[in-house]
Structure 1
Amino acid sequence: MAELQVRDLLVPVIELALQAGRLIEAELSRPDGPRGEGDKAEVDVEIEALLRDGLKQILACDFVGEETGVDLSGHRFAWVVDPNDGTADFLKQRPGSSVSIGLLRDGTPVLGVVYAPVNAHGPDCIAWAEGLQTLLRNGQPVSRDLCSATLSSGSVVFVSYSAYLKPEQNAVLCRPAIFHPMPSIAYRLARVAAGDGIAAVSLYSVSTHDVVAAHALLRAVNGDIWNERGELLRYASPNAFSRPLRFCFGGAQSACAEL
């Protein structure tokens, strides 16, 4: 049996993410607004059911979802999904939530698709799979290397949307860079990988399903993700799937260490 080429999975995964994005768009277009409250939206479950079925048809393996649970059998591959990262902001009809689909092989992120169907810059799909030379952004190759990137004047740090409430404090914390608040840690990290910023931060607890897809994107550009103790985020055991990060710093190593 020929060895699986992860890059061959990317096109159907992107197509599935775009399909999920249409459900987000439709939900935001409802006359009464999105269904749900707090950080739970009804469409999230509907999207994850779609993704779970579709992804298992693309590659039948383990599955880690935010809404429909975890299915771990010891398979070397595992899909890790957040159907609508940034739900709380989504329910307030703030643009920028994202569909996040990642694939782990033996605990290493080897494929990621992060799709923000509704945001200020228009639909944005950032994707990569092991075997590709560059990221793809809306189907176009994007070259980026974070290996020697540093926190500098004019660089951008993406932070949680609520940073709008404390602009002075966030300006100090991100100096000499500028800070840009937006929903969805998955999309913040993906935008760093695609070249829009130097680092992305969450000072709210995040879970595995929030970051695996974007972690793959960062791997492609020599970036990574660290926790609040400066330790690299890794997925070595099933327990890692249910253990949240208190804080999350992703992007260029030098910038994240300074932040």
Structure 2
Amino acid sequence: MTNGLPANAHALENGLIEIARKAGAAIMEIYKTDFEVRSKDDASPVTEADEAAEAIILPGLHALTPNVKIVSEESAAAGDIPDVSTETDFFWLVDPLDGTKEFIKRNGEFTVNIALIAKGVPVMGVVYAPALEKLYFGGPDGAKLIENDTDPKTTAITVRPMPKDGIVVVGSRSHGDPEAMKAFLGDLKVREMRPAGSSLKLCLIAQGEADLYPRLGRTMEWDIGAGHAVLAAAGGVVENMDGRPFVYGKGDFANPYFVARSPSVPVTYQN
């Protein structure tokens, strides 16, 4: 690899997983306390856990890949945004605590998200849910789930074929428009609508527990980059609502509406 990345992809994977686990441990220490909730300029919530995790992740990534730029949610909110684009060879995309609302609700469905973007495409990513003791990783060699922090069990994961008895559709636990979702699904046979927090929605498709995630609302690139990397490594796709490939490094880092799915699930895109 170039641009300051380790030549050994295995070393990069191990380093990335270690950074995510350290950030998750810091989050869990704060999770046990009576933490304070503040509002950012866009009215979204932030806690000291978001900041503590970022304070671990950024130096860790700098040490792992000294010459690779980093775009991270909390730094971006403070105005620290490096110049990257869809043409940039490599950059890290970080959400130190994805699902802050789930963290505040204490339902466990929050994650540490770190993705490596190459020319607009997520090529490696880790999604770590410390309260659930689940770590998802996606890279050139495929996707896997590591469960149980003290006695880890690793399982290779892939998307599943479309179930004959109906698909499982995942949606946001804290956001969403039921009527818009119903209109998008149209005549698809749906067996279950399953709410889930944070980027775990993409990971559920990656591990074959769900089939489709239409996102008909606002998200930012750091919200889904790592989950996209896991899903792509598991054989899934993330696309714009017109079927075009989804890219990263857009000027404002804001996402259009999108759909994440197993390729066996047919959808009708808007022109």
TM-score of the two chains, using structure 2 as the length reference:
0.79
In structure 2, stretches of 5+ residues that fail to align are: 148-152
1:245 aligns with 2:255: yes
8 A contact 1:225–1:232 mirrored in 2:
yes
8 A contact 1:137–1:194 mirrored in 2:
no
Aligned-residue CA RMSD (Å)? 3.0
> One-letter code of the match for 2:173?
Y
In structure 1, stretches of 5+ residues that fail to align are: none
> One-letter code of the match for 1:142?
A
- Residue from 222, 230, 233 that aligns with 1:220: 233
Within 5 A, what are the aligned runs for 1:1-259?
A: 4-30=7-33, 32-33=34-35, 35-37=37-39, 38-60=44-66, 61-69=68-76, 70-72=81-83, 76-118=89-131, 122-130=132-140, 132-138=141-147, 139-145=153-159, 149-150=161-162, 152-162=164-174, 173=185, 175-184=189-198, 186-235=199-248, 238=249, 240=250, 242-255=252-265, 257-258=267-268
8 A contact 1:35–1:43 mirrored in 2:
no
Q: In the aligned structure 2, how far is the partner of 1:25 from the partner of 1:233?
A: 32
Q: In the aligned structure 1, how far is the partner of 2:191 from the partner of 2:268?
A: 11
Q: In the aligned structure 2, how far is the partner of 1:80 from the partner of 1:102?
A: 5
8 A contact 2:143–2:231 mirrored in 1:
no
| Aligned residues with identical type, % of pairs | 26
Size of the alignment, in residue pairs?
Answer: 247
> One-letter code of the match for 1:128?
G
- CA deviations on 1:45-100 (whole Å, 9 max, x unpaired) are 22112101101111120111111133236862211100111112322323201100
> One-letter code of the match for 2:144?
L
Larger proportion of helix: 1
Q: In the aligned structure 2, how far is the partner of 1:256 from the partner of 1:43?
A: 39
> One-letter code of the match for 1:51?
I
> One-letter code of the match for 1:155?
I
Q: In the aligned structure 2, how far is the partner of 1:223 from the partner of 1:101?
A: 18
Q: CA deviation at 1:231?
A: 2.6
Q: CA deviation at 1:232?
A: 2.0
TM-score of the two chains, using structure 1 as the length reference:
0.82
8 A contact 1:6–1:110 mirrored in 2:
no
